[in-house]
Structure 1
Amino acid sequence: MAYIRKRSNGKWSYTVSLGIDPLTKKQKQKTKSGFFTKKEAISAARKAEAEIESGTFVKETKMTFETFAQDWIKVYAQSAKISSVRARSKEMKHFISVWGPYPLKKINKQLYQKRIVDLSEKYSRNYVSGIHACGRMIFNHAIGLGLLKLNPTENIQLPKHQIKVEEIENQKEEIKFLEKEELARFLRFTASDGLEMDSLIFTTLAYTGLRIGELLALKWSDFDGGKGSLRITKTLYNPSNNIKEYELLSPKTTGSIRTIRIDDRLVKMLKHHEVKQKEIKLEKGSIHVDNQFIFARNDGHPQLRKVVETRLKRILKKAEINKNITPHSFRHTHTSLLIEAGVGVKEIQQRLGHTDINTTMNIYAHMTANMEEKASHQFSELMKDLL
């Protein structure tokens, strides 16, 4: 039976029994105050007792949002990749910055929707979607632990980004890649003016379509010279660009685990590099850490992504190629060459390790449109000369 009483401030409260605590063997109670009339307190107490009876009563936590979020990320880290944990940690800071000291139970749907709207005014829809996904995970965890009654993230709408006509007109959608002739010139310069391993690294990227993390994670056990193939099973994660502070993670998706055939030229380059690497090991002796990485520095540690990016800019400048090309651009370059060679979409999907066929189709459509535009331009130039 609920205990109803009037407080010194003139408001009413109720106290209900939650039963015996199985650990302390003591009576547990729930008290709630702030009711303006006795009738309101009695009504609320009856509702609480009915929930206790049916097993649906939740004693909401007094924990602050920041404390709970920090506890959640520790649990999340036990089963997620370190790169995902890093991303979620950044995303949840967008909530902690405004709700940190707030009790978790005080964050309602209205507050959550307002925060999402505020973020949408500053960031892209895609980025806000990631932040919202993080928010859902945090509050779902609280619900799962029985610390909240209602989930404020349910049925929240992401505001649509309204693009102005001027933005659309000035916006130039671009998938960066090298034309066949540009790639040939670039690779000639890697051979003549490149630094150690430049020619092998950029030829491998261009001839395989590997992601840069996949390439740097390759070990000699992944290379089969007899069959002419590479096995992709991992990716290198090194956000700090420290030669020793790296991790080998599972690839981006399950579809990214694959074996791809490589041409004879690349096979010969890899075999030559393997012989040269063994000579370096003998020369360096105990200084060399033998972790069997194909693209290893002279000390045996895997090459840094930052070094690859710096060397790429150097060769682009020497080759006088004025495009904002990144290591990932070679993946698109490889795709464009496959399309030009008449390779089907399904084969491209498998070679690039795309789990979602839509990812391949989007690139395929863009590349095809680019080739059609190029063909149209060449035809126009031809007719100009004729007329």
Structure 2
Amino acid sequence: MASITKRGDKWAYSVSMGMNPITRKQNQITRSGFHNKKEAKKAAQTLEYKLNVEGGKLTTVRNKFSEVVEDWLILYAQEVKPGTLRIRKKALDKVLPIWGNKKITTIEHINYQSLITNLSAAGYSRNYVESIHHSLSLVFKHAKKGNLIFDIPCRDVKFKKEYDSEEDKLENFLERDELSEFLSLAKSSERYDDYIIFLTLALTGLRIGELMALRWEDINLDKKFLRVRHTLYNPNNNENEFRLISPKTKKSKRVIQLADKLQKELISYKKYVESNFKIQSGENFLFFRGDYKPLTNTHARNRLVTLTKKWDYKKKITLHSFRHTFTSLLIEDNFSILDVSNLLGHVDTSITIKVYTHITQPKKIELQNSLSKFADKL
């Protein structure tokens, strides 16, 4: 540890080089003439870092980029959910072939900026590149904390600006009549659970993992509410490897009131299940395979693709579209942002506002009429 002292109106540092085996005295490097304490401290830290690296003190440390990543992931796994860990691993896997064998001390800001620029040039979206950047930032902060590097190279990085049109951003939800049309299509499906799956998504705003994790004990049909307590974790879509874990955030654990229509349909669906299947054992999932294990997210996506192929509809619909649609229709019916945020399980209303800043077509017409009336009074 360097010693920082003031000498007159200037500052100085002394860095120990260790004990001289002959004189039994401390060898020190002292420099002075710094304008302030911060300047002297930074210079001392730079010298200590160079002595550690150039003097060979770090040669036995695991300091290859791949080794640092491996060590960090072990610690990170103790702090986060499996889904979050998987996202970080996937992001870092994109970089390991490039930097894996490099010493982390050789990766500087210019190398980092070049990586980010090249990823954008390769056609990856800004969101994906930022996800990689965030994962790398955690690794480099870990390296800095362990004194493997002096500077974190990922500060002040520049990202490629994207110019997606507003219209492109607004397509991924359904207007009220479009939702009604799709649900009618689902109701005519040959599969008994298509309609109730998509109706539940549309009238609760659940994430698909939250929906697939629902068990009958989570639903109170008499008092008309469901309780979100878990999400289904099954990254490989293997029916034998699923896990029930806590939802995305603490706020995601929530109670959602059931619309009368959904309550009635769930009562009918429960009667159908009880009369056509054996009494379920174990988790007692609402939506299940023939062996009573939960349906996978991929199953729901495939059913959505199958249904939309029968529908002459031009917009791209995803499972998340139903959560988006639920939000849009609540806003159209003048629900407050706070109420919508609570129903969605967002951490705070700023997320709701940021994600759902558009308005539906009826709201646009209503706004236009209001503006016209306002102008007529001028």
Q: Which of 183, 206, 214 pairs up with 1:210?
A: 206
Moved more, 62-71 or 193-202: 62-71
Q: Which of 261, 264, 270 pairs up with 1:268?
A: 264
Moved more, 335-344 or 222-231: 335-344
Match of 1:339 in 2: 331
CA contact (8 A) 1:112 1:152 kept: no
Aligned amino acid, residue 304 of structure 2: L
Match of 2:194 in 1: 198
Match of 1:23 in 2: none
**Distance in 2 between residues matched to 1:247 and 1:293, nearest whole Å:** 13
Q: Which of 251, 254, 263 pairs up with 2:247?
A: 251
CA-CA distance at 1:346 after TM superposition: 1.1
CA-CA distance at 1:258 after TM superposition: 0.8
CA contact (8 A) 2:143 2:149 kept: no
Match of 1:68 in 2: 68
**Distance in 1 between residues matched to 2:328 and 2:181, nearest whole Å:** 17
Match of 1:125 in 2: 126
Aligned amino acid, residue 92 of structure 2: M
How many residues align? The count is 325
CA contact (8 A) 1:219 1:292 kept: yes
5 Å matches for 1:151-170? 151-153=151-153, 155-161=155-161, 163=163
CA contact (8 A) 1:237 1:247 kept: yes
CA contact (8 A) 2:107 2:153 kept: no
5 Å matches for 1:140-151? 140-146=141-147, 148-151=148-151
CA-CA distance at 1:238 after TM superposition: 1.8
5 Å matches for 1:76-115? 76-115=76-115
Match of 2:374 in 1: none
CA-CA distance at 1:252 after TM superposition: 1.7
**Distance in 2 between residues matched to 1:208 and 1:168, nearest whole Å:** 29
Structure 2 residue 377 is matched with structure 1 residue 371 = no
CA contact (8 A) 1:280 1:298 kept: no
**Distance in 2 between residues matched to 1:267 and 1:347, nearest whole Å:** 20
SS in 2 for 1:252: coil
Relative to 1, partners in 2 of residues 1:194 and 1:321: Cα closer, same or farther, differing over 3 Å? Answer: farther
5 Å matches for 1:44-63? 59-60=57-58, 61=61, 63=63
**Distance in 1 between residues matched to 2:19 and 2:255, nearest whole Å:** 60
Match of 2:8 in 1: none
Deviations 1:69-128 (A, max 9, x none): 122212212222112111111221233222211222222333223323333333333222
Match of 2:29 in 1: none
CA-CA distance at 1:156 after TM superposition: 3.0
CA-CA distance at 1:198 after TM superposition: 0.9
CA contact (8 A) 2:233 2:244 kept: yes
Q: Which of 172, 185, 193 pairs up with 1:189?
A: 185
TM-score, length basis structure 1:
0.74
**Distance in 2 between residues matched to 1:116 and 1:323, nearest whole Å:** 32
SS in 1 for 2:232: strand
CA-CA distance at 1:202 after TM superposition: 1.0
**Distance in 2 between residues matched to 1:124 and 1:18, nearest whole Å:** 55
SS in 2 for 1:158: coil
Match of 2:341 in 1: 349
Match of 2:37 in 1: none
Relative to 1, partners in 2 of residues 1:362 and 1:75: Cα closer, same or farther, differing over 3 Å? Answer: closer
**Distance in 1 between residues matched to 2:282 and 2:183, nearest whole Å:** 29
Q: Which of 358, 366, 376 pairs up with 2:350?
A: 358
Relative to 1, partners in 2 of residues 1:299 and 1:149: Cα closer, same or farther, differing over 3 Å? Answer: closer
Match of 1:30 in 2: none
Cα RMSD (Å): 3.2
Structure 2 residue 307 is matched with structure 1 residue 315 = yes
Q: Where does the alignment leave 5 or more consecutive residues of structure 1 unmatched?
A: 1-14, 21-46, 380-387
SS in 2 for 1:291: coil
**Distance in 1 between residues matched to 2:309 and 2:62, nearest whole Å:** 59
CA contact (8 A) 2:65 2:99 kept: yes
Aligned amino acid, residue 159 of structure 1: F
Match of 1:325 in 2: 317
**Distance in 1 between residues matched to 2:133 and 2:20, nearest whole Å:** 38
SS in 2 for 1:131: helix
Moved more, 314-323 or 200-209: 314-323
Q: Which runs of 4+ in 1 moved over 6 A?
A: 376-379
CA-CA distance at 1:162 after TM superposition: 6.4
Structure 2 residue 238 is matched with structure 1 residue 242 = yes
**Distance in 1 between residues matched to 2:107 and 2:238, nearest whole Å:** 40
Q: Where does the alignment leave 5 or more consecutive residues of structure 2 unmatched?
A: 1-15, 22-43, 371-378
CA contact (8 A) 1:237 1:246 kept: yes
CA contact (8 A) 1:207 1:334 kept: yes
Relative to 1, partners in 2 of residues 1:275 and 1:66: Cα closer, same or farther, differing over 3 Å? Answer: same
Aligned amino acid, residue 203 of structure 1: L
Q: Which of 214, 219, 224 pairs up with 1:228?
A: 224
TM-score, length basis structure 2:
0.76
Match of 1:179 in 2: 175
SS in 2 for 1:351: helix
**Distance in 2 between residues matched to 1:255 and 1:19, nearest whole Å:** 60
Relative to 1, partners in 2 of residues 1:375 and 1:115: Cα closer, same or farther, differing over 3 Å? Answer: same
